[in-house]
Chain A
Amino acid sequence: MLSRVANSIYWMCRYIERAENVARFISVNLNLLLDMPMEEGKHWKPLIITTGDQELYDKHYSSYAQESVLRFLTFDRQYPNSIISCLAAARENARSIREIISSEMWEHLNNFYLELTDEGRSDMAFGEPHRFYKIIQMRSHLFTGLMEDTMSHGEAWNFARMGIMIERADKTSRILDVKYFMLLPRAELINSAIDNIQWTAVLKSASAFEMYRKEHHRITPRNVANFLIFDSRFPRSICHCVSSAMICLHRISGTTSDAAHNLAEKRLGRLEADLEYTDIDEVIDQGMHEYLDNLQVRLNQVDVAVGATFFNLQPLIDSVTQEQ
């Protein structure tokens, strides 16, 4: 398939997954707010800090009031990772490959975006945020469901799926990173059942609460981290996402699962192996934040390798200009 098309479908899916995860970040905070009321600004500021875009926020907003933060993360078109910006980008990508995806996918995404641009939407986001962000998540699920059921599982679909998985691995690591630090004041508490409510909220934000319960029963920070990083069967765990992305990548390259033929396969394969041969206690010894930070860097390197392997053929032909 065309490199440009592969690039667009990969990014279309990354953007949708990203929008969904912004909604998840917000949801977890809303859940925490219900259980531990706090001074307004205190509760929302960490969320902005984790985006890494605090500077941009401070330039345009004067306080960390709930409504300002929600507006920034949801409706601000100047912020490239706001939900509306992500959906606009996803839709622009979809528009450029309409002939590749099913009309059901296109119409749903188109509608998803148009609904969000509707004036009344922000009233709902501020007035009934729980409902609103749940709807965002469900819309995203509906999209991936449509993709699963209405699009041939060929090369384009594998690029799409790989985009979702790489994005999700990154976002799950961020959810964990943030909360781990906020909620775990002293490292020696790692195995004790502290603040059940808050850790429950973390699990819920990754839709992991019930599945976790089946595996671990008691909620401890160690086990929560273990589950979100290493559980091979839970579809939002980092380990699962990386393995799924690897399967897609093998299908795209047409190689067997025990060989690595290009840079993307090499980098992703190494990451997958590392996840398989590491355990949670090693991670805790090494430092959770350092570990997750490194994971995000490596996911970025995978992304760069995917681009170099499939999307940008410049090294071969230098007369053509290509942009992402």
Chain B
Amino acid sequence: MDTFNHYEPGDYYDELMESTGVPRPGARLLVEKIESLPPGDLALRQQAAEALLLKMGITFNVYGQTEGTEKIFPFDIIPRIVSSRDWHLIENGLKQRIFALNAFIQDVYNEKKILKDKVVPEDLIHSSRTYRKECEGFTPPRGIWCHVTGTDLVRDKDGRFYVLEDNLRCPSGVSYVLENRQVLKRTFPQVFEASQVRPVDDYPTKLLETLSHLAPNLVHAPTIGVLTPGMYNSAYFEHSFLSQQMGVELLEGQDLVVSDGFVHMLTTRGLKRVDVLYRRIDDDFIDPEVFRPDSLLGVPGLMSVYKAGRIAMANAPGTGIADDKVIYAYVPKIIKYYTGSEPILSNVPTYICRDEKDRAYVLEHLDELVVKAANESGGYGMLVGPHATDEERKEFAEKIMAEPRNYMAQPTISLSRVPTIVGDSIEGRHVDLRPYVLFGDDIYVMPGGLTRVALKKGSLVVNSSQGGGSKDTWVL
């Protein structure tokens, strides 16, 4: 295998290499180790890691293919390494951001100060598809809305981290972080040990603490459950994994019923009360009596029990208002408003299409920009201008003009790259970083995160639904 001797960092920020043959300080041990491997050994380790993931059954169903088609989430064994200095900034930046976003959600559904002060336009809130009228006047237990967040960060050519997206609803992927780590520890044991990588393994314990913290007062040993859409959901493995790691129930909507003003699960010995739900079902589907009536995944009556304070939910229904991609553009102002300080982590510059001047600019520069719909995720409803055809750009221009509120645009970021195994050699591939943040007694940022990698050459889209894979993330 052709290793780092000929590796070209190229015109991007490379997470492991300063220049050809010169690793960054934290990556030196790893690069030396890979260099010292006999030819073919790295490929063998890669295969062994993939075989291990398959054996552990860490697979997702591929929709639209023949029955029984399952794939492992593509995994590359060369880790991404984050220096402690970079991490310090990320950690503080995220704590500040999540604190402010939580305050924002509480404010928007209650006093609406930030709207009255015209920092965020009021019509933007009411026209958002993720705004939940049903939550107005409600304060969730301990005033916490976004208990679990997975914020997407990217690093530009200048080496600085930017926040690309806030995922405050049901961010997924944390199980891959934990499993990738298990696999990598076996793949590069000595390097791992010598590099003093910070552990991620206590995430399930921290999550359990976060959830227990929400239990209604006076409940001594709360019954906690993870609410999943079921085994055909692509993140089912994660739901099952987390409930197993926390030792709590894994529940489906069909297991739950509202009776006597409480939520109960159906057990072999009758009904048993449930106190806290870590729900991995979107707001739209959790209660057909309140939200989408055609939902079979949820529990009829759940919202009324919730609003009576007889069950807690993480994340709270309604948090989606803060991850509307247009509201995102206002987050720097939101941080300033609630904390009085400048944001530690910057946003990617954003053009808001409802703003006339911005819209004109966007329509003129579609070939340079990335356009996103306000409420889509998973890489859908998105235009990557430089890589799109004229036709696609035209189509998006029409969409923007028809519904300007629903679109925003950002300059194309030159995402940083990490050396990645491609056939017989190592080539740079673009990555992002999704750290996970828990808001319980305190705000906790797991030292690590999901590094998603665009495996297609030159591609900037890292979503697994669009040909992305993942890497382990080592925080030193």
State whether A320 touches B266 (Cβ < 8 A). yes
B266–A4 CB distance below 8 A: yes
* CB under 8 Å from chain B, chain A span 1-17: 1-4, 6
**Interface-side segment among A36-44, A49-57, A104-112:** A104-112
With A77-B67, A95-B231 as given contacts, are A107 and B56 in contact (CB-CB < 8 Å)? yes
- CB neighbours of A1 from chain B (8 A): 267-268
In chain B between 43 and 101, which residues have their CB closer than 8 angstroms to a CB of chain A?
A: 54-57, 67-68
Interface 9-residue window, one of B110-118, B243-251, B371-379: B243-251
Given contacts A92-B231, A111-B55, contact A98 B244 (CB under 8 A): yes
CB distance from B231 to the nearest CB of A (A): 5
Chain B residue nearest to A156 (CB atoms) is B268
**Any A CB within 8 A of the CB of B320:** no
**Stretch with Cβ within 8 A of A (4 or more), from B252-260, B402-410, B462-470:** B252-260
> CB within 8 Å of A: which of B350-409?
none
Within 8 A of B (CB), among A265-324: 310-311, 313, 317, 319-323
B residues near A110, Cβ cutoff 8 Å: 55, 57
Chain A 85-144 residues near chain B, CB threshold 8 A: 88, 92, 95-99, 103, 106-107, 110-111, 114, 117
Q: Which residues from B are CB-within-8-Å of A321?
A: 254, 296
Residue of B with least CB distance to A108 = B55
Tell me if A117 and B55 are in contact (CB < 8 A).
Answer: no
Q: Tell me how far the C-beta of A57 lies from the nearest C-beta in chain B, rounded to whole angstroms.
A: 21
Contacts of A114 in B (CB 8 A): 54
List chain B residues, Cβ under 8 A from A252: 268
B448 at interface, CB cutoff 8 A: no
B244, A3: Cβ atoms under 8 Å? no
Q: Provide the residues of chain B in CB contact with A322, threshold 8 Å.
A: 254, 266
Measured between beta carbons, the chain A residues less than 8 angstroms from B257 are: 317, 319-320
Q: How far is the CB of A121 from chain B (nearest CB, A)?
A: 14
Q: Mark B210-253, 1 if CB is under 8 A from A, else 0.
A: 00000000000000000000110000100011011000011110
In the complex, chain A residues 71-93 whose Cβ is within 8 Å of any chain B Cβ: 77, 88, 92
Minimum CB–CB distance from B336 to chain A (whole Å) comes to: 43
B300 interfacial by beta-carbon distance below 8 Å: yes
Q: How many residues of B contact A (CB 8 A)?
A: 28
Asked whether B265 is an interface residue with its Cβ less than 8 Å from the other chain, the reply is: yes
Query: With a CB–CB cut-off of 8 A, which chain B residues contact A177?
Result: none
Q: Is the CB of B57 within 8 A of A107?
A: yes
Closest Cβ of chain B: how far from A15's Cβ, in Å? 15
* With A77-B67, A99-B240, A321-B254: A2-B54 Cβ-Cβ less than 8 Å: no
Indicate if the CB atoms of A95 and B268 lie closer than 8 Å. Answer: no
Tell whether, in the assembled complex, residue B265 and residue A2 are in contact, meaning their CB atoms are under 8 Å apart: yes
Which residues of the partner chain A approach B54 to less than 8 Å between Cβ atoms? 114
B67 touches A6 (CB 8 A): no
Write out the residue numbers on chain B whose beta carbons fall within 8 Å of the beta carbon of A320.
254, 257, 266
Query: What residues of A have a CB within 8 angstroms of the CB of B56 in the complex?
Result: 103, 107
Contact across chains for B57 and A99 when beta carbons are under 8 A apart: no
Question: Which A residue sits closest to B67, measured CB to CB?
Answer: A77
Cβ-closest chain A residue relative to B254: A322
A3 and B268: CB pair below 8 A?
A: yes
Docked complex Cα distance between A280 and B162 (Å): 81
CA–CA, A117 and B270, complex, Å = 40
CB distance from A82 to the nearest CB of B (A): 13
Question: CB-nearest residue of chain B relative to A254?
Answer: B269
A319 proximity list for chain B (CB < 8 A): 257, 300
Does B57 lie within 8 Å of A2, measured CB to CB? Answer: no
- Bound-state Cα–Cα, A114 to B69, Å: 11
Chain A residues contacting B240 (CB-CB under 8 Å) are 95-96, 98-99
Q: Does A231 contact B (CB under 8 A)?
A: no
B252 touches A4 (CB 8 A): yes
B contact residues around A111 at 8 Å (CB):
55
In the bound complex, what is the Cα–Cα distance between A322 and B257 (angstroms)?
11
Q: Is A155 an interface residue (CB 8 A)?
A: yes
**C-alpha spacing A3/B259, complex, angstroms:** 17
Q: Which of B57, B243, B244, B255 lies at the interface centre, i.e. has the most chain A CB atoms within 10 A of its CB?
A: B57
- A3 B243 Cβ-Cβ under 8 A: no
The complex places the Cα of A99 from the Cα of B407 at a distance, in Å, of 41
Contacts of B250 in A (CB 8 A): 97, 99
Q: Chain B contacts of A2 at CB under 8 A?
A: 249, 251, 255, 265-268
User: What residue in chain B is nearest A310 (Cβ atoms)?
Assistant: B268
Across the interface, B57 reaches (CB within 8 A) one of A3, A95, A310, namely: A95
Is B268 within 8 A of A106, CB to CB?
no
Can you offer 29 A-B residue contacts whose CB atoms are under 8 A?
A2-B249, A2-B251, A2-B255, A2-B266, A2-B268, A3-B267, A3-B268, A4-B254, A4-B266, A77-B67, A88-B68, A95-B231, A95-B240, A96-B230, A96-B240, A98-B241, A98-B244, A99-B244, A107-B55, A107-B57, A111-B55, A114-B54, A155-B268, A317-B259, A319-B257, A320-B257, A321-B254, A321-B296, A322-B254
Q: A77-B68, A95-B57, A110-B55 are in contact. List 11 more A-B contacts (CB 8 A).
A: A1-B268, A2-B251, A88-B68, A98-B244, A99-B240, A99-B250, A107-B56, A159-B268, A317-B259, A320-B266, A323-B254
Please give the residue numbers on chain A whose beta carbons come within 8 Å of chain B beta carbons, in ascending order: 1-4, 6, 77, 88, 92, 95-99, 103, 106-107, 110-111, 114, 117, 155, 159, 252, 310-311, 313, 317, 319-323
Q: Which residues of B contact A (CB under 8 A)?
A: 54-57, 67-68, 230-231, 236, 240-241, 243-244, 249-252, 254-255, 257, 259, 265-268, 270, 296, 300
Closest 6 CB pairs of A and B: A99-B244, A310-B268, A110-B57, A98-B240, A3-B266, A96-B231
